[in-house]
Chain A
């Protein structure tokens, strides 16, 4: 693991070294959903998006959570981002409870998700500028800083003023990473950051994630269904299936546990399903999870 530089904590929030970056204890999230086939007045049924998930991520560590669509990966990220309230259990970020201290947690977390989450008509520079203000940065700090950060992620200088909608997905994800870097998150939540990118953009984004981790005291939680990406970026890998965390360990530990030669075989052994297989009878799960 690369040795991180000293903390550049933006808001001076206590993060004692002995406190894990992420700590989940029996986290549950259940959604209630009507059966589509039985009309709008049918009784609602419960769909567990997270079912007693417990794990810890140490400071400076990169952990990947593997799972198929609907496994609960995005729900997990949303709980840690304070966008969803868990129904049970405890979720803490650097010791701060997401339920009772959401404002503190929000200062420590940033997220890059599969959707770029930008105002489409606004330019990369404009999107970064207002986002920086949300994090308490003045225009004096961002005037020179935004062009530098965009240059760092390989964003062409002559396209800074172009509307985001004119940019490729790969380019938009670079801007999303630049935005995360701009606000110096100490916990970076990556929710399928390379899904839908071409191979070159994918490699660039992955290289940048490695660089972020090497240069900053950042902890990374990567949710993905890309086995190679998980193997390339993460120290440990967890398998999430139908809201339950089945296993969490290094690639070697996973392979040993399931007597597998590859991560794909280990995943199959853990879930009892092929990776990419869409056999989940609960088709509503994907709506939420």
Chain B
């Protein structure tokens, strides 16, 4: 027995009747698989989350620390700004990491060959990883924000959370695109690829104004900040939450994010396809670990 039904017709183009519906089922399979992995590695997730909470708290307490050591600062505003930076970075960082580890994790588990010979287009495979990363990252960021906000008596009466979420959603597309670009690194360099992904992530962290305005950076780093989607995401979300800017006032942030997203996703897919071809030419799709 098998679960496939007998053929009822033959497509004439030689490509068969593999449809968009099949691809969407395949995409749901990628999400399903990652949910199983979260369930099976739940203690890893808990430990990682606790570390992220501790890290976020230690950053946000800096605002109080400055005041306690005699500095003049609007503690509420600074703490909120740092919290937004830490939470948004945790969210975008998770998306980036999941995308970057698309290949590395499969290689480590020994499933890479099975996945790459499955009848699933690579774009659907990668979009499936992106969809899971968005779901997982969002759930984690909301929980992180709730836990950390509990430690601070934050006052954000003007916040426009709707506008902040729209900016975050648009920025997520760009990050998925950049993640796809870095996902290729473990494909072409099994030993060093993941580490190079962390280098790229670290670079974005430094230049994007996660914990400080990008204006404090040297000029050449400010130029790099203009091509980082995180810069615009953080600007927009801070404006929405701290100042209460509505979506209509977010043009300066949304347009660059849309442009980066529109460019990053197809470029990411093209880079990944080239990387996959290189890996298949040089026998680098084998398992390791």
Answer yes or no: B202 CB below 8 A from chain A CBs.
no
CB of B269 to closest CB in A, whole Å: 15
Answer yes or no: A120 CB below 8 A from chain B CBs.
yes
CA of A85 to CA of B281, assembled, Å: 5
Q: Across the interface, do B118 and A131 meet the contact criterion of CB distance under 8 Å?
A: yes
* Nearest B residue to A212, CB-CB: B2
Q: Across the interface, do B14 and A104 meet the contact criterion of CB distance under 8 Å?
A: yes
- Tell me which of A75, A82, A119 has the highest count of chain B C-beta atoms within 10 A of its own C-beta: A119
Q: Across the interface, do B14 and A106 meet the contact criterion of CB distance under 8 Å?
A: no
CB of A5 to closest CB in B, whole Å: 10
B120 to chain A: which residues have CB within 8 Å? 134
Residues 1 to 36 of chain A near chain B (Cβ within 8 Å): 6-14, 31
Answer yes or no: A235 CB below 8 A from chain B CBs.
no
Partner of A12, one of B1, B9, B282, B287: B9
Answer yes or no: A232 CB below 8 A from chain B CBs.
no
* Nearest B residue to A149, CB-CB: B1
CB of B93 to closest CB in A, whole Å: 23
A78 to chain B: which residues have CB within 8 Å? 113, 283, 285
Answer yes or no: B72 CB below 8 A from chain A CBs.
no
B14 to chain A: which residues have CB within 8 Å? 13-14, 96, 101, 104
CA of A175 to CA of B230, assembled, Å: 44
A13 to chain B: which residues have CB within 8 Å? 10-11, 14-16
Q: Across the interface, do B111 and A117 meet the contact criterion of CB distance under 8 Å?
A: yes
Partner of B40, one of A134, A148, A163: A163
Answer yes or no: A173 CB below 8 A from chain B CBs.
no
Binary B-proximity of A61-105 (CB < 8 A = 1, otherwise 0): 000000000000001001001111100000000001000010110
CA of A215 to CA of B5, assembled, Å: 15
Residues 134 to 153 of chain A near chain B (Cβ within 8 Å): 134-138, 141-142, 145, 148-149, 152
CA of A149 to CA of B33, assembled, Å: 20
Answer yes or no: A111 CB below 8 A from chain B CBs.
yes
CA of A183 to CA of B1, assembled, Å: 10
Contact stretch, chosen from A52-60, A122-130, A236-244, A255-263: A122-130
Binary B-proximity of A42-59 (CB < 8 A = 1, otherwise 0): 000000000000000000
* Nearest B residue to A49, CB-CB: B283
A181 to chain B: which residues have CB within 8 Å? 1-2
Q: Across the interface, do B26 and A148 meet the contact criterion of CB distance under 8 Å?
A: no
CA of A274 to CA of B111, assembled, Å: 34
A109 to chain B: which residues have CB within 8 Å? 117
**Known pairs A11-B17, A13-B15, A121-B37; A115 contacts B25 (CB<8 A):** no
Answer yes or no: A107 CB below 8 A from chain B CBs.
yes
CB of B256 to closest CB in A, whole Å: 35
**Known pairs A12-B9, A121-B37, A163-B40; A104 contacts B2 (CB<8 A):** no
Answer yes or no: B8 CB below 8 A from chain A CBs.
yes
A120 to chain B: which residues have CB within 8 Å? 109-110
Q: Across the interface, do B41 and A121 meet the contact criterion of CB distance under 8 Å?
A: yes
**Known pairs A11-B17, A13-B14, A84-B283; A183 contacts B2 (CB<8 A):** yes
Answer yes or no: B277 CB below 8 A from chain A CBs.
yes
Q: Across the interface, do B114 and A117 meet the contact criterion of CB distance under 8 Å?
A: yes
Residues 1 to 35 of chain B near chain A (Cβ within 8 Å): 1-12, 14-18, 21-22, 25-26, 28-30, 32-33
Q: Across the interface, do B111 and A119 meet the contact criterion of CB distance under 8 Å?
A: yes
CA of A133 to CA of B9, assembled, Å: 22
Answer yes or no: B152 CB below 8 A from chain A CBs.
no
A215 to chain B: which residues have CB within 8 Å? 1
CB of A110 to closest CB in B, whole Å: 8
Q: Across the interface, do B3 and A137 meet the contact criterion of CB distance under 8 Å?
A: yes
Q: Across the interface, do B118 and A8 meet the contact criterion of CB distance under 8 Å?
A: no
CA of A163 to CA of B125, assembled, Å: 24
Answer yes or no: B151 CB below 8 A from chain A CBs.
no
A138 to chain B: which residues have CB within 8 Å? 25
CA of A83 to CA of B29, assembled, Å: 21
Answer yes or no: A190 CB below 8 A from chain B CBs.
no
Q: Across the interface, do A136 and B3 meet the contact criterion of CB distance under 8 Å?
A: no
Partner of A14, one of B10, B25, B29, B118: B10
Q: Across the interface, do A107 and B1 meet the contact criterion of CB distance under 8 Å?
A: no
**Known pairs A83-B285, A85-B280, A85-B281; A129 contacts B32 (CB<8 A):** yes
* Nearest A residue to B2, CB-CB: A184
A148 to chain B: which residues have CB within 8 Å? 1
Answer yes or no: A230 CB below 8 A from chain B CBs.
no
Q: Lowest 9 CB-CB distances: which A-B pairs, in order?
A: A133-B29, A184-B2, A136-B22, A10-B4, A13-B16, A130-B33, A121-B40, A134-B118, A11-B16
Interface residues of B (CB under 8 A from A): 1-12, 14-18, 21-22, 25-26, 28-30, 32-33, 36-37, 40-41, 109-111, 113-121, 277, 280-283, 285, 287
24 contacts between A and B (CB under 8 A): A8-B4, A8-B7, A11-B18, A12-B8, A78-B113, A78-B285, A83-B117, A103-B119, A104-B16, A106-B117, A107-B119, A111-B113, A115-B110, A120-B109, A120-B110, A122-B33, A122-B37, A130-B32, A130-B36, A132-B29, A134-B118, A136-B21, A136-B26, A182-B2
Q: A10-B5, A117-B110 are in contact. List 20 more A-B contacts (CB 8 A).
A: A9-B6, A11-B17, A12-B8, A12-B10, A84-B280, A85-B281, A104-B14, A106-B119, A111-B113, A119-B111, A122-B37, A122-B40, A126-B33, A126-B40, A135-B4, A136-B25, A136-B119, A142-B3, A183-B4, A216-B2
